[in-house]
Amino acid sequence: MSSAKYKTAEARANFSALLARAKAGEEITITKAGEPQARLVPPAGPAHREIAPLGYLNLPGDLFDGDDA
């Protein structure tokens, strides 16, 4: 994982781009007066979740019988 440091003003001016870089796997450290203040890190889970096809579910036959409306 690569890492980069940005001063607060630089981070504020480029925030959207820094978020995209963090999402892509880069760790960004934001500093103020040379001291680390915050880190942007990649999300913990997968960036994209696959949707499961509903055909694999065993749903009861009367699930949509109209009485629940």
What local confidence, expressed as pLDDT, does residue 53 receive?
72
Q: For residue 23, give its domain range.
A: 1-40
The tokens for 23 are: 């999402």
CA–CA distance, 22 with 17 (Å, rounded to integer): 9
Residue 47 belongs to a domain: no
CA–CA distance, 24 with 17 (Å, rounded to integer): 11
Residue 17 belongs to a domain: yes
Strand pairing category for 27-32 and 3-7: parallel
Task: Encode pLDDT of 13-35 as tens digits.
Answer: 999 999 999 999 999 999 999 99
> Domain count of the chain?
1
Residue 54 belongs to a domain: no
CA–CA distance, 62 with 60 (Å, rounded to integer): 6
pTM above 0.75, yes or no: no
Residue 16 belongs to a domain: yes
CB 46 within 8 A of CB 23: no
CATH of the domain at 13: 3.40.1620
Q: 38 pLDDT band (50/70/90 cuts)?
A: very high
Residue 10 belongs to a domain: yes
